[in-house]
Amino acid sequence: MLLSVVVPVHRVQGYLRASLESVLGQGPGEPELLVVDDGSRDGSAEIAAEFAARDPRVRVITLAEHRGAGPARNAGAAEARGRFLLFLDGDDLLRPGALEAITGRLAESEPDVLLLGHDRIDWWGDVSSAAPVIPSPASVAEGFSTAVPRLFRRAFWTAHGLHFTDSPYEDVLPVHRATLLASGAGTLDTLDRICVRHRIRRSGTFATTPGRHHFAILDAYERLLTETDHDPRIRAARIHHLRAVVADPGRTAPEDRAAFHRAAALPGNYAAHRAREAARTGRTRTLAALRHRKKTLRARVMRAAYRADLLRPLDPDLAVYGAYWNRGVACNPAAIHAKALELAPHIRGVWVVSSRHRDRMPPGIPYVIEGSRAYWRAMATATYLINNSSFPGGFTKRPGQRYLQTHHGTPLKTMGLDQRVYPALTNGISFEKIVAHADQWDFSLSANPHTTEIWDRVYPSGYEHLNLGYPRNDIFFTATPEQTAAIRQRLSLAPDRTVLLYAPTHRDYRKGFVPHLDLERLARELGPDYVVLVRAHYFYGRSTQLDGARVVDVTAYPSVEELCLISDALITDYSSLMFDYACLDRPIISHAPDWAAYRASRGTYFDLLSGRPGDTPGAVATDEDELLEVFRTGEWCSARTAELRAAFRERFCPYDDGHAAERVVRRLFLSDRE
């Protein structure tokens, strides 16, 4: 075996899948992939286990507790069987063709250490404006950089007792030691192409968290300089590395820079250095001025009353709810509110609703109109904020407030920052606001591991994931036959009719609801025993062209969950409703006439029409005739489609069991009392 790739894993669930695929996707055969679970409490271990179960090249090593990247790498190296070692982080990507190029260079030169080219891509999705680092013999002679990925001959690594430390900047000592040893022996080589892409995460990592723990780099270099008799290449690397740390606000806070400079004993005093930097970039004063201007503008815009309310103490028993951009009581927030009334009656809930939707408010439910005086007071004083979208007006989140983002669906289509590469989506979207909104969240609710992975990456911030299921789906497990019959009766549906719910999603490239089906023909061809309920996306509203005896427009019906409950099958295209409907274990038919256009314009996370278990929920039709054939032949409710549905349900409904709302209420409102 030529190569062992060691990947330490800790809290990288939103990045790990792509990282592992980048290695395994290089081609069959090599390499061995060792994933070291460093006590990760998110979904990283489950992702690693999934890969190991389906690919024999993957082995998972589990540490009993979190020990840090250094010990995790050492554990992987100790289990490796390849002739060479490559250490990647759980958010790194191996670039296409990298292994082929590496294999070719190893065959040519048989080095002990091989330096690889790399580049960086920030959390915003931009490749670093700095030139990619492509090593050359000349650059090696001038000095070393720990940022350059390296391949190590395993026998060389073992013979010299090389290992990573268990302290911050764990790679400084072994990487430089190995490079010096190989350089002195003439067994150091370079590969002049980009092999590794470092993905820079916005928050949550050691490297992106400012603080004095970064001072540990000084101790690492002091030890190395002592060992190497102050080798000039190490001195050059030290200066380069220290400058990078002190200049990065993500690592060294402004108030710590003076202490860092004093500790590093760099030439000159900090005051002169700061003056030079300020004169060169003007950054210090500019940032201060921008902060002051932002505060001033915000103070002018904010209502005087709201400013006064922000000085009031928080009400520990007040919760503000919102759903679908203030359209009324719905979705996960509605289910949480109902369960809170039962389990936490001390919590007073108030809903935010727009003036044009106030008529949707159920009797007896307290509400405030968005933008009103009552709204701003509620937002200023509530301890709990629960929404499936966002609150209006750019409110100021106060210390002590707890914001639960419930979301409103499992993502098939791209979301958050992943939308940036699709031109049809970027018009009118402020990705800065998306990130600022995520910064307000304390909790993010998820119905399945797939969703948690996506949210972790596309809404990068420091919130806590609540893998508790979707409260809105509890009704699918708790509703009685009598309740279901009452809903049918409310809609004048005969108990012996087969009810099909047609619920397409909206298109970013189309205005208004235009069915892809001749619904009258569908009902006519199916016969008198069928009724088609049509639920347009809430972005479109009700259609005036669909009402009939066997085609009924239910877009205005307040609860889509109740519509699912009374239907015998779901016909949809790309709506996230399919993931919720899978809880019912009833047939799901994918009618996808414009799948190629939808994927090209919106982007999706998997191929809904692939027919693979876990990706496709049931029968598939790409045009109207195929859809009719699915019903004529009975394929819509066949044993084959039942197997697909079971795999789909297993993947996307693992947390839904009828008790999600209770779990959320206890976690959010009662965790301090129980």
Point out the least confidently predicted range of 150-159, 417-426, 493-502: 417-426
What crossing angle do the helices spanning 232-247 and 216-227 adopt, rounded to 10°?
A: 180
Strands 620-621 and 588-591: what pairing? parallel
In angstroms, the CA 38 to CA 69 distance is: 8
One domain for residues 416 and 547: no
Phi, psi of 7 (to 5 degrees): -125, 105
- Between 600 and 37, name the one with better pLDDT: 37
Does 328 fall in a domain? yes
Residue 219 C-alpha from the chain's centroid? 35
d(C-alpha 3, C-alpha 84), whole Å: 5
List the beta bridge partners of residue 386.
Answer: 321, 404
Is residue 498 domain-shared with residue 422, that is, in the same domain? no
Q: 466 and 377, same structural domain?
A: yes
Strand pairing report for 84-87 and 150-153: antiparallel
Min mean pLDDT across 165-169, 227-231, 371-375, 565-569 is at 227-231
Sign of CA dihedral 216, 222, 228, 232: positive
3-state secondary structure of 559: coil
Tell me how many domains the chain contains: 3
- Show the beta-strand stretches assigned E in 251-327: 315-322
Confidence class of residue 394 from pLDDT cuts 50, 70 and 90? confident
Residues forming beta bridges with residue 86, ordered by sequence position: 5, 151
For the ranges 175-184, 254-263, 340-349, which has the lowest average pLDDT?
254-263
Pairing of strands 92-94, 188-199: antiparallel
Do 433 and 492 lie in one domain? The reply is no
The domain containing residue 611 runs over which residues? 481-652
Whether the model clears a pTM of 0.85, i.e. scores above it, the answer is: no
Residues ≥6 apart with Cβ < 8 Å to 165:
70, 173, 174, 220
Residues 48 and 151 placed together within one structural domain of the fold: yes
Q: The tokens 């990760």 sit on which residue?
A: 40
Which residues partner with 150 through β-bridges?
Answer: 115
Query: In 3D, which of 321, 369, 315 has the Cα closest to residue 341?
Result: 321
Are 469 and 574 part of one and the same domain? no
> Tokens in use for 534?
């049509």
Q: Which two tokens stand for residue 77?
A: 């190296």
From 261-275, 522-536, 538-552, the region with the lowest mean pLDDT: 261-275
For 393, the token pair is 């007006």
Provide mean pLDDT across the span 132-150: 58
User: 539 is written with which tokens?
Assistant: 């972005």
Q: Which of 189, 209, 229 is the last residue in one of the domains?
A: 209
Token couple for 646 = 């079971």
Last residue of a domain, one of 209, 229, 259: 209
Q: What is the pLDDT of residue 619?
A: 98
Question: How many other C-beta atoms are found inside a 10 Å radius of the C-beta of residue 179?
Answer: 25
Look at residues 263, 285, 264 and name the one whose alpha carbon lies nearest to residue 274: 285
CATH of the domain at 462: 3.40.50.11820
Question: Residue 251 — pLDDT band, cuts 50, 70, 90?
Answer: low
Confidence of residue 46 (pLDDT cuts 50, 70, 90): very high
User: Does the residue 111 lie in any domain?
Assistant: yes
Residues 432 and 543 in one domain: no
Q: Which of 222-226, 344-348, 519-523 has the highest mean pLDDT?
A: 344-348
Percentage of the residues of the chain whose pLDDT score is greater than 90: 63
**Are residues 189 and 116 in contact, defined by beta-carbon separation less than 8 angstroms?**
no
Residue at which a domain ends, from 425, 449, 473 = 473
Q: Provide the 3-class DSSP secondary structure of residue 217.
A: helix
Residue found by looking up tokens 């996707």 in the block: 25
Q: Which two tokens stand for residue 622?
A: 């790409």
Query: Nearest-CA neighbor of 153 among 181, 134, 133?
Result: 181
State the CATH number of the domain containing residue 66: 3.90.550.10
Q: pLDDT tens digit string along 312-355?
A: 999 999 999 999 999 999 999 999 999 999 999 999 999 999 99
In angstroms, the Cα distances linking 149 to 86, 94, 179, 558 are 8, 11, 11, 56
**Concatenated DSSP letters for 95-114?**
PTTHHHHHHHHHHHH--SEE
Specify whether 520 is located in the same domain as 429: no
Answer whether 511's CB lies under 8 Å from 498's CB: no
Q: Single out the residue of 568, 451, 528 nearest to residue 13, CA to CA.
A: 451
Question: Residue 516's pLDDT is what?
Answer: 77
Residue 449 phi/psi, 5° resolution? -60, -35
Under the banding of pLDDT at 50, 70 and 90, the label for residue 393 is confident
CATH number of the CATH domain containing 558: 3.40.50.12580
Question: Can you point out the beta strands (E) in 1-82?
Answer: 3-9, 32-37, 58-62
Classify residue 510: in a domain, yes or no: yes
Phi, psi of 609 (to 5 degrees): -100, 10
pLDDT digits 0-9 by tens, 22-40: 999 997 667 999 999 999 9
Residue 672: band (very low, low, confident or very high) from pLDDT cuts 50, 70, 90: low
In a domain, 96, yes or no: yes
Give the DSSP letter of residue 242.
H
Residue 536: predicted pLDDT: 84
User: pLDDT tens, 609-628?
Assistant: 999 999 999 999 999 999 99
Number of C-beta neighbours around residue 308 at 10 A:
12
Any domain includes 448? yes
Top pLDDT among 146 and 186 is at 186
pLDDT at 644: 98
pLDDT at position 575 over 50: yes
For residue 646, give the 3-state DSSP assignment. helix
- Determine the average pLDDT of the residues in 250-277: 47
In a domain, 203, yes or no: yes
Does 485 share its domain with 629? yes
Asked whether residue 663 is assigned to any structural domain, the reply reads: no
The reply to whether 418 and 487 lie within a common domain is no
Residue 563 within a domain: yes
Neighbour-count burial for 567-596, b at 16+ CB within 10 Å, e otherwise: bbbbbbbbbbbbbbbbbbebbbbbbbbbbe
Using an 8 Å Cβ cutoff, are 453 and 47 in contact? yes
Instruction: Please check whether residues 26 and 146 belong to one and the same domain.
Output: yes
Q: Which of 407, 411, 324 is nearest to 660 (CA)?
A: 407
Rounded distance between C-alpha atoms, residue 182 and residue 176, angstroms? 10
Three-class SS state of 496: coil
CB 152 within 8 A of CB 112: yes
Residue 32 CA neighbour count, 13 Å, CB half: 19
Crossing angle of the two packed helices 283-301 and 270-281, in degrees rounded to 10: 70
Q: What pLDDT score does 179 carry? A: 85
pLDDT at 64 over 60: yes
Range picked from 198-202, 216-220, 453-457 for highest mean pLDDT: 453-457
pLDDT, one tens digit per residue, over 361-382 is: 999 999 999 989 999 999 999 9
For residue 139, give the 3-state DSSP assignment.
helix
The whole-angstrom distance between residue 158's C-alpha and the CA centroid of its chain comes to 38
Element (H, E) at 16: helix 16-24
Work out the mean pLDDT of the chain and round it to a whole number. 84
What's the rounded Cα separation, in Å, for the pair 663 and 457? 25
Residue 296 has pLDDT above 60, yes or no: no
Regarding whether 26 and 172 lie in a shared domain, the answer is yes
At 448-473, the pLDDT tens digits run 999 999 999 999 999 999 999 999 99
Q: Nearest 5°: phi and psi at 210?
A: -70, 150
Residue 162 neighbours by CB under 8 Å, 6+ apart = 152, 174, 177, 178
